[in-house]
Structure 1
């Protein structure tokens, strides 16, 4: 913009180079308190607001931005501090939600040793009962429940009709209930 301007020692309407120490001090003195207040209003944390204000000034200094007037510098810095503050608030909200999620997931459902034991006993009973079924009933049930195949796919694998698959699955489940007993299996809620 006004790259050939090295210093700004007199008038307020003269361009200011944020990379020049004298001009930077002028910009800092004219805007720091206002930037702090803008950031504080958004982030509601004095330390974070001060950081936002300083960061915006540092950004202008590092880029050695040349402003046509002190007001232009203020407007630019306000936009920078406002955007940084909004991003800070959004980031803090995401972090808060992530912390809550982790805290609540860990406390949602902790199972006792007794529950684990009952589950394992039920799994063992189901495996034992499955082994006691005839081979043709075992096969259809394993393909349906564990391989997650549909009736048509099971029929193709075993070389039987879809209707025959349905009948075998029904009979297999019926026999499992007789072997295990309806009330003899732990089902967690």
Structure 2
């Protein structure tokens, strides 16, 4: 299968997966390009476009999760070494509420177990269907549905209705 065809067919999907995990466009792009390099170095041969897509999604997802874990450890070390001032500005109340909601959602998502967080990111942010998620993660479509349901329930409990600003 031609590398250019694989690249054109998968780049935007892989970028969506990576950006939702790492929340940094430059890092996401690097992780995606690294996945293509890995496929090239291993001289991967894919029987179909779907096989290439699912393999690359796994590589990008794992690289992104590893990046986030490493960054989390680095951030904790920096915070121990340096105290940061966290005063909140009183102007722009609506923008502040929106930002707080985004942060709470990110924090809640980070608190989910890996297996629930993965399926929710792939479902909600990568716009993958249950069958594609199952194939990517190596689990059944039914298991994907259960995990998505449980992830949404857990997020609702973590966030609470009163703590989220949606307007």
TM-score (ref. length: structure 1):
0.43
| More helix per residue | 2
Higher Cα radius of gyration: 1
Question: Which structure's relative contact order is higher, taking Cα pairs within 8 Å and 6+ residues apart?
Answer: 2
TM-score (ref. length: structure 2):
0.48
